[in-house]
Structure 1
Amino acid sequence: MSTYSGPSTVRDMMHPGAQCIGENDSLQRAAQMMRDLGVGALPICGEDDRLKGILTDRDIVIKCCAEGRDLTSTRAGQFAQGLVYVEANASVEDALRMMHQYQIKRLPVIDNHRIVGMISEADLARSLPEDKLAEFVHRVYAFR
């Protein structure tokens, strides 16, 4: 049996340099950023450059488009609730526990009160051994 020698901290696993959508930016701008960056979620940052929440492509579709709201006048900050994040020096196990607890697939990473990256399913798939990845998938998708 081989010994797992993958990342031990969140910083080692995260995708660095997450770009934020401003809390006063429109959802249309957020959708354009997601398209241009090839991502399905953006951290929402305030005027103070602090993390306020996370906006997903699903939020835009379900909570805006499906409700007939205007993408150009609806602000990203309206979706900044239930802030969940992990510290960069936390263990990978801590991040996995949080993702399971909150049933989330993307997790902002904070260092010194500033966003420094994100952990996504793709990062997990690249970094975790198959058994740990399978356990994560089972736990996060089991209750949906």
Structure 2
Amino acid sequence: MILIVGGCWKKPSAWHAKCDALQKAQKVLEEVLVRNVDTWNALIAGYAKQGHVEEGMGYFQRMQSEDISPDEAAYAFVLKACGTMQDNDMCKRILDDIVNKGLLRKNIMLGTALVDMYDKCGALQKAQKLLEELPVRDVLSWIVPSAGYTQQGQG
């Protein structure tokens, strides 16, 4: 089912999350009989957007407990949350999952999210090393560590 309301469109949970109605999005997710990675991603992204990273991480873990495998977008949202929380152990587990699934080989968004996570955790050298090892890079990939170095007074 797709809704178009007030300029927001997508599946119900995505619509609610994008329109900042996270409790409604959560309720819709609970009522949906068949959940997939897209419905979970919409909710996780909504919580991340609103700065509720712990809740987003909880839904990420719940998605996995329902045997729904995260895709690149889910991992990108979670990497942002890990960086914000500065949870190095969680970051390591997520990185291991990403590497084991071979997701870094072609995905610019995921590689950039990982560089950003290291940057937010203050691991600028790891961010720089990862950037240099990424098989595919774009302008944003280079901007993220540059901003981190500038914020650390190493412009």
Q: Same fold (TM over 0.5)?
A: no
Asked which structure has the greater RCO (Cα within 8 Å, sep 6+), the reply is 1
Query: As a proportion of its length, which structure holds more helix?
Result: 2
Query: As a proportion of its length, which structure holds more strand?
Result: 1
Given the two structures, how large is their TM-score scaled by the length of structure 1?
A: 0.29
